[in-house]
């Protein structure tokens, strides 16, 4: 049974429009401006060079600390929950990924700030607005991310292989080196690359916790060149270009080695997994608390009066419109992103049916489809602005541009969730249904739809959640009439309205957590897939 070629034609057209219009043209414009502005002479500019050094330095340091902590934590948790399929630990480790970075930054200010919670207990940190604070916040946010990657891979190491190694004389470290490491290393490396990309492009965290000039990264420099003083588009393009190179470097490294070793990455699904062992309840609660410990500190933003936003009529009038705008933005971005991802997976699937010989091309496309996850929202925002800004009225802003931009940015989230679903297409069952008299649509509805429903809801919730806290991209197409919630926070922070800004941060935290729980419970969706860990 083959999928009709008409789907290939339709999905191809959509993909071409999506990639040319959404990524090709904007990035091409960005590179062109950067080159014409002397992007290659970057190293002669000592100020920019020091910013580049700072960017790479803090990203590498944050990644190293996250990697060290995350690897061993993930290994430990993976060993503990390997025989407990119902364990909530992986889900809880994924939670911090859903917390908007703006909320993360504000939470750490609320904990560590000069008038923060710890200061009120007599514990003072003199490094809250410094590189240390940025690295600490990055590491705390990313340790569970790496731990999740390692934990999930470790969970899937077949127990029989470990038993075989033990029987052949392997001790704990030999087991780790020869059996576990080959099966977790790529997930670990990919997670590290993601962390490196994240730390390089981190915006809200560096802006709020870095304390300004002491910690200036390419991202904040780019923002500064657009936001303050004169509009230096070419300077911003140069920053964006070099930032893109740093961001993509670890991915290029992985792709280079991945290609040489891809055979060892084949999943070992057919291996028998041992039956579930009895895990002590108290011990299980302990593991859950460890995992939850990485999200709990952000809950401090809830201490400020979130409800006050809706009770106080003045605040309500200021927040209500951005609140609904954010919801609409999240909804539309989620819908378009999921639709584009469906087109992409369909394109890959039908393509592999029609041209089975070009599997390398297919693999290349899969990598390409994950590309936007390595792009900074500010860089993409700038690229979009440079390409399509001329058609946008600066006084009106553009809701459509915001939606399209976020669709491109969060497309990989949906793609990664839906990609395994199409790979598991139950062709034989569909054929059986058709042979029993069902039409193609009915066969799909009864056989395939139950498998698709959950991931579709999950992908939608994932994108909507990410969209809610996104600040870089939307800032390019906002206007006085078109301000989403994250921009309200940013403005209130600039006007020293910290308490009220924290109230909105609390609201964002509640919204994003709700969406994550919807994706877990209703969508039966795993976040680790969306961030590329499976």
Q: Which stretch binds other proteins (CB under 8 A): 35-43, 146-154, 193-201, 266-274?
A: 266-274
SS3 of 269-287: the string is CCCCCCCCCCCCHHHHHHH
Does position 272 bind other proteins by CB under 8 A?
yes
Torsion over CA: 176, 67, 88, 152 (sign)? negative
Q: In sequence order, what are the beta bridge partners of 479?
A: 482
Among 5, 13, 123, 164, binds other proteins (CB under 8 A): 164
Among 174, 359, 426, 514, binds other proteins (CB under 8 A): 174
Q: Quote the least distance from Cβ 177 to other proteins, whole Å.
A: 10
Does position 170 bind other proteins by CB under 8 A?
yes
- The closest alpha carbon to 65, from 147, 123, 125, 155, belongs to 147
Nearer of residues 48 and 179 to other proteins, judged by Cβ: 179
Among 24, 38, 57, 182, binds other proteins (CB under 8 A): 182
What are the counts of helices (DSSP H) followed by strands (DSSP E) for the chain?
26, 0
Among 2, 86, 266, 281, binds other proteins (CB under 8 A): 266
Q: Quote the least distance from Cβ 234 to other proteins, whole Å.
A: 48
Tokens of 361: 């091309």
Does position 271 bind other proteins by CB under 8 A?
yes
Are the C-beta atoms of 460 and 335 separated by less than 8 Å?
yes
Does position 420 bind other proteins by CB under 8 A?
no
Phi/psi for 375 (5° steps) reads -100, 140
Does position 171 bind other proteins by CB under 8 A?
yes
Largest CA distance in the chain: 75
3-state helix, strand, coil in the chain (%, to 5): 80, 0, 20
Q: Quote the least distance from Cβ 188 to other proteins, whole Å.
A: 13
Which 3 state secondary structure label does DSSP give 479?
Answer: strand
CA-to-CA distance for 206 and 225, rounded, in angstroms? 16
CA-to-CA distance for 465 and 100, rounded, in angstroms? 8
Count, residues near other proteins per rule CB under 8 A: 25
Among 88, 132, 166, 284, binds other proteins (CB under 8 A): 166
Q: Quote the least distance from Cβ 274 to other proteins, whole Å.
A: 9
DSSP at 495 = T
Are the C-beta atoms of 419 and 533 separated by less than 8 Å?
no
Among 38, 49, 57, 160, binds other proteins (CB under 8 A): 160
Polymer length of the chain:
534
Are the C-beta atoms of 420 and 348 separated by less than 8 Å?
no
Tokens of 190: 């990919």
Tokens of 460: 């939608």
Nearer of residues 158 and 235 to other proteins, judged by Cβ: 158
Q: Which stretch binds other proteins (CB under 8 A): 67-75, 180-188, 236-244, 435-443?
A: 180-188
CB atoms within 10 A of CB 327: 16
Q: Quote the least distance from Cβ 276 to other proteins, whole Å.
A: 11
* Residues 6 or more apart whose Cβ sits within 8 Å of residue 360: none
Nearer of residues 169 and 229 to other proteins, judged by Cβ: 169
Q: Quote the least distance from Cβ 375 to other proteins, whole Å.
A: 32
SS3 of 211-262: the string is CCHHHCCHHHHHHHHHHCCCCCHHHHHHHHHHHHHHHHHHHHHHHHHHHHHH
Torsion over CA: 329, 332, 333, 334 (sign)? positive
Does position 187 bind other proteins by CB under 8 A?
no
| Contact mark string toward other proteins, 207..246, x via CB under 8 A | ----------------------------------------
Does position 168 bind other proteins by CB under 8 A?
yes
Q: Which stretch binds other proteins (CB under 8 A): 110-118, 163-171, 327-335, 344-352?
A: 163-171
Among 86, 263, 281, 282, binds other proteins (CB under 8 A): 263
Among 41, 50, 53, 264, binds other proteins (CB under 8 A): 264
132, burial (CB in 10 Å: exposed 0-12, middle 13-18, buried 19+): middle
Q: Which stretch binds other proteins (CB under 8 A): 172-180, 249-257, 463-471, 480-488?
A: 172-180
Among 35, 111, 127, 181, binds other proteins (CB under 8 A): 181
Does position 165 bind other proteins by CB under 8 A?
yes
Nearer of residues 122 and 275 to other proteins, judged by Cβ: 275
Does position 50 bind other proteins by CB under 8 A?
no
Q: Which stretch binds other proteins (CB under 8 A): 26-34, 68-76, 269-277, 457-465?
A: 269-277
Q: Quote the least distance from Cβ 270 to other proteins, whole Å.
A: 7
CB atoms within 10 A of CB 42: 16
Nearer of residues 168 and 522 to other proteins, judged by Cβ: 168
Q: Quote the least distance from Cβ 157 to other proteins, whole Å.
A: 9
Are the C-beta atoms of 85 and 162 separated by less than 8 Å?
no
Does position 149 bind other proteins by CB under 8 A?
no
Does position 179 bind other proteins by CB under 8 A?
yes
| Site of interaction with other proteins (CB under 8 A) | 158, 160-161, 163-171, 174, 178-179, 181-183, 263-264, 266, 268, 270-272
């Amino acid at each position: 049974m083959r999928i009709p070629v008409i789907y290939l034609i339709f999905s191809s057209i959509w993909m071409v429009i999506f990639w040319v219009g959404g990524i090709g043209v904007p990035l091409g414009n960005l590179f062109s401006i950067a080159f014409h502005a002397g992007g290659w002479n970057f190293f002669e500019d000592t100020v920019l060079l020091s910013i580049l050094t700072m960017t790479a330095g803090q990203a590498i340091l944050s990644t190293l600390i996250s990697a060290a902590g995350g690897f061993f934590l993930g290994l430990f948790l993976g060993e503990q929950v390997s025989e407990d399929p119902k364990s909530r630990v992986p889900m809880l480790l994924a939670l911090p990924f859903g917390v908007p970075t703006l909320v993360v930054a504000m939470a750490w200010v609320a904990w560590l700030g000069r008038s923060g919670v710890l200061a009120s207990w007599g514990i003072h940190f003199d490094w809250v607005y410094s590189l240390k604070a940025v690295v600490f916040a990055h590491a705390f946010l990313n340790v569970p991310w790496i731990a999740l990657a390692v934990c999930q891979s470790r969970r899937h190491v077949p127990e029989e292989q470990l038993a075989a190694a033990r029987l052949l004389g392997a001790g704990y470290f030999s087991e780790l080196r020869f059996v576990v490491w080959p099966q977790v290393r790529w997930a670990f490396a990919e997670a590290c690359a993601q962390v490196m990309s994240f730390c390089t492009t981190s915006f809200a965290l560096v802006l709020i916790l870095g304390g300004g000039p002491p910690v200036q990264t390419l991202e904040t420099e780019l923002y500064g060149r657009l936001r303050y003083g004169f509009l230096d588009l070419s300077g911003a393009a140069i920053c964006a270009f070099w930032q893109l190179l740093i961001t993509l470097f670890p991915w290029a490294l992985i792709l280079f080695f991945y290609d040489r070793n891809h055979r060892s990455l084949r999943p070992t699904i057919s291996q028998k997994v041992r039956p579930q062992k009895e895990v002590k309840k108290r011990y299980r609660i302990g593991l859950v608390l460890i995992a939850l410990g990485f999200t709990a500190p952000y809950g401090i933003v809830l201490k400020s009066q979130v409800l006050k936003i809706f009770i106080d009529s003045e605040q309500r009038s200021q927040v209500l419109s951005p609140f609904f705008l954010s919801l609409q933005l999240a909804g539309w971005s989620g819908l378009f992103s999921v639709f584009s991802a469906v087109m992409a997976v369909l394109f890959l699937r039908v393509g592999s049916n029609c041209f089975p010989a070009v599997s390398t091309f297919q693999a290349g496309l899969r990598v390409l489809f994950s590309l936007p996850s390595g792009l900074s929202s500010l860089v993409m925002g700038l690229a979009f602005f440079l390409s399509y800004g001329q058609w946008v009225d600066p006084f009106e802003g553009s809701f459509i541009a915001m939606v399209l931009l976020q669709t491109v940015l969060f497309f990989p989230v949906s793609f990664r969730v839906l990609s395994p679903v199409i790979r598991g297409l139950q062709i034989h069952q569909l054929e059986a249904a058709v042979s029993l008299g069902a039409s193609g649509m009915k066969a799909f509805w009864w056989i395939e739809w139950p498998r698709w429903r959950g991931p579709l809801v999950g992908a939608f919730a994932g994108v909507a959640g990410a969209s809610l806290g996104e600040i870089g991209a939307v800032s390019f197409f906002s206007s006085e009439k078109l301000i989403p919630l994250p921009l309200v926070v940013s403005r209130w922070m600039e006007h020293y309205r910290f308490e009220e800004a924290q109230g909105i941060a609390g609201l964002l935290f509640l919204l994003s957590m709700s969406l994550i729980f919807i994706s877990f419970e209703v969508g039966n969706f795993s976040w680790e897939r969306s961030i590329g860990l499976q």
